[in-house]
Amino acid sequence: MIFHEGCREIYALPLTRELDSEVPGESTKVVTLDPAESYRLRVKELDPEGLPLLKHYQLRAPEITFSERLRIDVGGHTFELTHMPGHTKDDVCVYIPQERVFFAGDNFTNGVQPSLAQCFPLEWIESLQKIEMTDSDLIVPGHGKVGGRKDVQEFRSFIEECVERVRQAIQKGMSKEEAANQISFLDLYIAIHPGRWQQRMNVLRLYEKLTLG
């Protein structure tokens, strides 16, 4: 398993979750779980029928890590791995030059508005610009149909507009909660909208990163 070195650090960290409390009068409680148990809980919430499939599930720890770039030559193909922060801090993209195919992961979602809840917006824009500068014929997104550099450019424009709307709200003196309640991305980017709750999380994250860094 190959990861960015930051993922190795995250792998060892316990995760905290809010759960419904069994104590009368307490609505939720915060518990600490190991990563595998946290993922099982997530599956239980989203797909209860699929939970038995994880009965013997174990996380596989990163075996090879890198900081910025890693090249792998195997099976007559070259795989160029590059650290491209954006959707998360430790995003890795993969380019196969012989095929001119670029795997962008969740840094690019085609026709779907992404979650920004863990994003690094300014770095994300820079990473998307780098993808546009490649000679890729096909760019494989984390969600949606395979696209090209023009699709990535349109997606970058969407991220830039989201950032600009939140930046303008900050300049107007809006609080974080006011911005989250008032800003909408519904009219942006012809794509599946994530819903009001996710959009609120997106605005909160952008506000935090643009004010706190």
Report domain extents, the chain: 2-54, 68-212
**At residue 85, does pLDDT exceed 80?**
yes
Residue 57 — pLDDT band, cuts 50, 70, 90? Answer: confident
Most confident of 12-16, 63-67, 175-179, 188-192: 175-179
Q: Containing H/E element for 10?
A: helix 5-11
**CATH superfamily name and code, 68-212:** Ribonuclease Z/Hydroxyacylglutathione hydrolase-like (3.60.15.10)
Q: What is the pLDDT of residue 190?
A: 63
Structure tokens at 54: 């994880």
User: Residue 12 pLDDT more than 80?
Assistant: no
Per-residue pLDDT reduced to its tens digit, 104-159: 999 999 988 888 988 999 999 999 999 999 999 999 999 999 999 999 999 999 99
Q: Is 101 left (phi over 0), alpha (psi -120 to 50) or beta?
A: beta
- Per the CB < 8 A criterion, the answer to whether 156 and 139 are in contact is no
Residues in the chain: 213
Ranges 11-15, 89-93, 191-195, most confident:
89-93
